[in-house]
Structure 1
Amino acid sequence: MKKKILILATALFFLLFNGFLYVTLTMRLGNNYSGTSQLKMVDVGKFLPFEEDSELARTGSSLYFTSEDDLPVLDGAAALVPVYASVIDNIYPEGCVTYEGGVFSDDNYYGENFADDSVMQYQNTIRGFDALVDGSVDLFFTAHPSKEQLESAAEKGVELEIVPVGLEAFVFFVNSKNPVDDLSVEKIRGIYRGQINNWKEVGGPNRTIDPILRIKGSGSQTMMEKFMEGDMITKRDPLDVFGASIGYSFRYYLSGMIANDNVKMLSVNGVYPNAENIKNGSYPISANFYVVYRKDNDNHNVKRLVDWLLTDEGQAMIEGCGYVGLK
């Protein structure tokens, strides 16, 4: 009799324990609107110059470099790979983009496969900016450099020229199952200052808000710190993983380069971040993106290229890439 009671008690314990896990973990994680809110890495292979199937803006150019020219080396943030790859495709001679081993590798997530003599590099914001300062890269395409990056350049005695060449929206995104479609600037800041912690406070479900953060020094993190006026959380509560996340990035990076049907961009102050609303200024969080070069760079083709980006041809190419031109 005692053995039966013990067996029944053990079975009841495991039944209740499994029920507890289902309610507190499995059920919540199964509908937490979070997993697909994480950004993926850029598939650089989709944006290789001189490849027939590459997704580049082949709008043409009256400026053309030959193999005899001193060719500027280009690098940039992940969000701007299509722009500087299109510059190379429209203006540079074939054969100037080279790879270690002779061919592009599908594992080339962080530019490891580009050869040292290649005019196209992909080291992303942090390493790429350092390469610009050190002189191994001539032109760097990026959001505005952070205060720390500018200070680092100044400490090395490097003066930089920072030229706006296009316009882009800074966006916030959530899982497509999240019923929230719009947030005000004030509510977004409230979330990222730790003042709003549940989606029900902004018209959503009774779920904890999981605010995703980006790497310090990345273009999106620098833009976010500027948007937050320097007052934002610096780390997440580990328990927020059981809630529903929100993240931030640049519009075309999210919608064009790593498009994901399970993620949706939010309207801000009732305005959706499409190209038209960026152009007419109604979307409230837009920013320039830039090309940066060292002032002491003596390659005259650097300035020629920057000047071309500001012409009608250059601006047409930028819009052809999916971004918004300055004009």
Structure 2
Amino acid sequence: MSTNEGGDMKKLAFIMVTLLLLGLYATVYSKGTVLKVNTGGAVLGGEAIEAVTKAFEKDTGIKVEATKGPTGQCGFTVKNLMSEKIDIGVMCCPINKLEAGRKGLVQTPVGVGAWAFVVNKSNPIESLSTQQMRDIYQGRITNWSEVGGKNAPIQPYAYIMCSPRDEALRQFLVGEKQYKKGIVGIDNSRFASNVKKAKPGDPDNCALADTDPNVIVGLTYQSVAGRKPACSAMRKGAVKIIAVDNIMPKPETIANESYPVSHYLFMITKGVPDRAEAQYLNFIRSDKGQKLLTSNGLVAPLP
């Protein structure tokens, strides 16, 4: 995650933990309570959130109606929170100033995920530097031979979404940098004209590198890693994850932030969480909840 994001998120985590531990939400709802939650799809570790949700229902007797957005989970969460169709929703991006202000949304970090870069198994490249990644996606490097590969044009794909939010992949690829300040903004116009959009919410985006050996695609680590990756091309061994700055994304490197493209996973509420919502968030953030998240596919627990 970016320098600024890491510091801001730690402050946010402290604020949310403080609120939840103050006892403001100590009263537990009755067993007749129903929470409506967007748990997210496979690209955001939805199976892990569903596992925690089932354990929460069992432990508390509070029923949860789980939904999944059809494509991009962040936009689905905001839209359905504002229309009051859900009570809590998952997002991989932090909310923006408008959402936190006039719309009154509140975010709570619940886990850590990452973005990974996938290429065809036949591609000899095993690692690219941060600068090489930025050069590829900003059009300064256009051929694999320029980074030690074969003489072939590079076809980059990426999730180019959540444009009004400080999404971690775009921060990494086209973030504007200032000396000693890290990434301070995102400039989508820096994306090269040959960068194609990966389909939001589709766990099979890594198959793009299966059908075209010249593709590099950035997508969530959750969808291509673990015991049973959501991406079919990864399951059959047709594609591979490459390292960034010689660091492979894996739970340890993502948790300690040595891998440079990690991000927080958030649960969002409209307004300060009420008692049932806070109980759900407390459960996810508890030792039991964090262990369930990581054992069911989410990359790393909260720091």
TM-score normalised by structure 1 residue count: 0.64
Q: 1:138-287 counterparts in 2 under 5 A?
A: 138-145=87-94, 147=96, 151=98, 154=101, 157-217=102-162, 222-227=167-172, 228-229=174-175, 230-231=186-187, 232-233=190-191, 235-236=193-194, 244-255=214-225, 256-259=229-232, 260=234, 261-287=237-263
Please tell me whether the aligned partners of residues 49 and 293 of structure 2 are also in contact (alpha carbons under 8 angstroms).
no
Q: How far is 1:242 from its partner? A: 7.8
Give the C-alpha shift of residue 170 in structure 1.
1.6
Instruction: Find the counterpart in structure 2 of residue 127 from structure 1.
Output: 76
Q: Which residue of 2 aligns with 1:301?
A: 276
Deviation, structure 1 residue 166? 0.9
**Cα shift at 1:280:** 3.1
Counterpart-to-counterpart distance in 1, 2:213 and 2:223: 25
Aligned residue in 2 for 1:81 = 46
CA distance in 2, matches of 1:314, 1:183: 35
State the distance in 2 between where 1:218 and 1:317 align: 31
**How many residue pairs are counted as aligned between the two chains?**
236
Query: Partner of 2:34: helix, strand, or coil?
Result: coil
Distance 1:326 1:165, change over 3 A: same
Deviation at 1:217, TM superposition (A): 2.3
What's the CA shift string for 1:254-290, capped at 9, x where partnerless?
2232252212111010111111222333212212111
Provide the rounded CA distance (Å) in 2 between the counterparts of 1:121 and 1:159.
22
**Long gaps (5+) in structure 2:** 1-27, 176-185, 197-210
- Over residues 46-82 of structure 1, what are the superposed CA-to-partner deviations in whole Å (9 max), with x where a residue is unaligned? xxxxxxxxxxxxxxxxxxx998332211104322311
CA pair 288-280 structure 1, distance change in 2 beyond 3 A: same
Which of 53, 66, 70 is residue 33 of structure 2 equivalent to? 70
* Aligned-pair identity (%): 23
Measured after TM superposition, the shift of residue 318 of structure 1 is 1.2
Deviations 1:12-67 (A, max 9, x none): xxxxxxxxxxxxxxxxxxxxxxxxxxxxxxxxxxxxxxxxxxxxxxxxxxxxx998
CA 1:254 to 1:220, structure 2 compared with 1: closer, same or farther past 3 Å? farther
User: Which letter maps to 2:117?
Assistant: F
Aligned residue for 1:212, secondary structure, equals strand
Contact 2:136–2:142 under 8 Å retained in 1: yes
Higher relative contact order (CA 8 A, sep 6+): 2
Q: Which letter does structure 1 place at the counterpart of 2:278? A: K
**What RMSD over aligned residues (CA atoms) do the two structures have, in Å?**
3.1
Distance in 1, matches of 2:166 and 2:154, equals: 19
1:80/1:220 CA distance change after superposition, 3 Å: farther
Shift of 1:93: 5.5
Displacement of 1:179 in angstroms is 0.9
- Give the drift of 1:88: 2.4
Return the TM-score normalized by structure 2: 0.69
TM-aligned CA distance change 1:194 to 1:77, over 3 Å: farther
In terms of Rg, which structure is larger?
1
CA distance in 1, matches of 2:221, 2:116: 6
Kindly provide the amino acid, as one letter, of the partner of residue 245 in structure 1. V
Cα deviation per residue 1:102-138 (whole Å; 9 max; x = unaligned)? xxxxxxxxxxxxxxxx701111332233112222111
Give the distance between the partners of 1:296 and 1:80, measured in 2 at CA.
Answer: 24
**Greater strand fraction, Structure 1 or Structure 2:** 2
Partner of 2:167, secondary structure, is helix
Residues of 2 paired with 1:96 and 1:178: CA distance?
Answer: 50
Match of 1:290 in 2: 266
Looking at structure 2, the residues matched to 153 and 283 of structure 1 have their Cα atoms a distance apart, in angstroms, of: 29
